Structure 1
Amino acid sequence: MISIALFNNKGGVGKTTLAYHLAHMLQREGARVLAVDLDPQSNLTAAILDEQELEVLWGNDSELFAQNGHPVQRRLFTRAEDQRTLADAVRPILEGTGDIDPISPVTVTEGLWLLPGNLELSSFEDRLSSAWLSGYGGDPAAIRTTTAFHRIIDSAARAVGADLILIDVGPNLGAINRAALLAADAVLTPMAADLFSLKGLLNLGPTLREWRKTWQELVRPKISLEIPAPSAAMAPLGYVIMQPEMRLDRPVRAYQRWLTRIPWVYGTAVLGKEDWPEGDHSYEITTLRNYRSLMPLAHDARKPMFDLRTSDGALGSTQKYVQTCHQEFSALAQEVLRRAAALRHQRLTA
């Protein structure tokens, strides 16, 4: 079982879109996949579940669906019926009443599950922030707080027999993301070829190395064997370039200028190398073209872009575009599985 966090502290690069489609395609390629929504914005959860299911999922603890005392209108037999979110799982810690309350993942389809997010997860940020410093001294309560996400994910993954865990996190370097990334064996970085994404890499690499070193050298040795703790490997798996929509005010030449800089910045900032050979693209997993024209159709049809049919409005040349989308995501999923297998082998033989 390998856990992969999709993370770039620069937002707007298509991270959640990538997580959604990659999770579905990995399942098509034969993997048993657990998708985890640890972004408090909960966009991955909203992409997978429809509005009626979200109403059921979030309705119990949200005034949004029960204003003025009116009862929540529930639809029977939804995937979200009797399900809880990651915010529910950490609520005992947040309220000081106990440890995590593990939750069962939502079955999306055969071989694909979701640990759903909730906007209320953002209230856990302050508790995680204070627990990080207290963990230096081996305080058990602080350790249980910091490892909460790891233990929730591990419990759910074992319950469904997941081969691969995809963790979607928000675009920042805050305490929630730190706890989420501690639970990751590897980090996959979606990015655009622009100044802001490269600046994000310059911040991302040193921060991940600092978190890893602090956890492995200062905190983990003091953790009791009674508390399952992550290794915080956070191994760089590589990056996926999300191609922008080419416009007249954004020449291809400008795009290429930033594109050529990515390998060196990734190698030096994320991998921590003093230098990086020119032309070495070994950590570039793929470049995904822009499928903006397919997104509205996919959203309306409540399905991945590569599953669109003529009945969904994918007519004529658009259907050929759907086929290209399927081919690109299939190739991406196969490469992610190959790299995950290599990482698993390396971990077993270390």
Structure 2
Amino acid sequence: MATAVRPIMDGVGDIEEVEPVTVTQDLWLLPGDLELSRFEDRLSDAWPRGFTGNDQAALRVTTAFHRIIQRAAERVDAEIVLIDVGPNLGAINRAALLAADAVLMPLAADLFSLRGLRNLGPTLREWRSTWRGTVLPKVPPTISAPQGTMSPLGYVIMQPTMRLDRPVRAYQRWLDRIPIVFATAVLDQEDFTIGQRYEIATLRNYQSLMPLAHDARKPMFDLRSADGALGSTQMLVQRCYQDFKALSEELLRRLSAGVG
């Protein structure tokens, strides 16, 4: 991605087309790079300058990620694009999320995730409103621009401590609060509807699988005995596979249904 925006950062042109890296059959990757941090200031400067619609250079900066993703997806005929962003509300994430039709939020069962949700919801609405109401109508047809939909799809709970397949009580108190905050802060609903399912999945702490996966350079659910997944660890690999399979199926269901 850093290579793709380097002409913009250097002030010598527009985005450069990049070749998606083949990971496996029907799966490709556009790798990020720490060098993208240099693009943050350029994105921050371009955002307000694009409000008038007269500064096409600013609009090309703001839409750079969208256009890189669009070209890469067309190149490999991708049906779904997953955009992985860090836990912040900076200019890089804004530009990346503008390109997203839906937003999936990973959460931990703690105070910081609740505070993050309270900040994220209003910020997404502000970005969406500004983009769709102020900027998008002024983007010339010569520049491919995202719709800025960013529809909240739900959230995934990450790694609560489990006992007999149930979170321990200390975490359960936070888990019980998350749906209310998600409904009010993210979905902007005045009332929380009891029974409404916003949680897509719970992914447990898979213990030793993460370091094994790093060492083997493969997903946790694809580890084999040759990778060090022996005995009870192999049973955990199978459980991990089932958990991620269920997550993927629920995501596809929600995307197909168009619900958040």
Calculate the TM-score normalised by the size of structure 1: 0.71
CA distance in 2, matches of 1:116, 1:318: 30
Q: Indicate which of 96, 104, 119 corresponds to 1:180.
A: 96
What does residue 216 of structure 1 align with? 132
Quick one: percent identity of the two aligned structures? 70
Deviations 1:273-316 (A, max 9, x none): 11212342x22101111112211111111111111112222111
Residue segments in structure 1 that go unaligned for 5+ positions in a row: 1-85
Contact 1:263 1:279 (C-alpha < 8 Å) held by counterparts: no
Mapped pair 1:333 → 2:248: yes
- Give the distance between the partners of 1:173 and 1:144, measured in 2 at CA: 20
Give the structure 2 partner of residue 140 of structure 1: 56
Alignment-mate amino acid for residue 21 of structure 2: V
Deviations 1:64-109 (A, max 9, x none): xxxxxxxxxxxxxxxxxxxxxx111111111111111111111111
Aligned equivalents of 2:6 and 2:214: distance in 1? Answer: 31
Q: How does 1:1-350 map to 2 (within 5 A)?
A: 86-138=1-53, 139-245=55-161, 252-280=168-196, 282-343=197-258
Is the 8 Å Cα contact of residues 212 and 232 (structure 1) preserved in structure 2? yes
Secondary structure in structure 2 of the residue aligned to 1:274: coil
The code of the aligned residue for 1:220 comes to L
Contact 2:161 2:171 survives alignment (8 Å): no
* 1:246 Cα deviation from its structure 2 partner: 6.0
Alpha-carbon distance in 1 for matches of 2:228, 2:35: 36
Number of residue-to-residue matches in the alignment: 255
Alignment partners' CA distance in 2, 1:331 and 1:134: 43
| Structure 2 CA distance for aligned equivalents of residues 194 and 330 of structure 1 | 26
CA distance in 1, matches of 2:152, 2:245: 21
Provide the C-alpha distance between the structure 1 equivalents of 2:46 and 2:83, rounded to a whole number of angstroms: 22
SS at match of 2:170: helix
Could you tell me which runs of 5 or more consecutive residues in structure 2 were left unpaired when the two chains were aligned.
none
User: Aligned Cα RMSD in Å?
Assistant: 1.4
Q: Which amino acid in 2 is paired with 1:187?
A: V
1:245 CA displacement: 4.0
Letter of the aligned partner of 2:3 in structure 1?
A: D
Q: Which runs of 4+ in 1 moved over 2 A?
A: 243-247
Distance apart, 1:244 and its partner CA: 2.8
| CA displacement 1:113-137 (0-9 Å, x = unmatched) | 0111111100001110010000001
Per-residue deviation, 1:321: 1.0
For 1:278 and 1:255, how far apart are their aligned partners in 2? 20
Q: CA deviation at 1:110?
A: 1.0
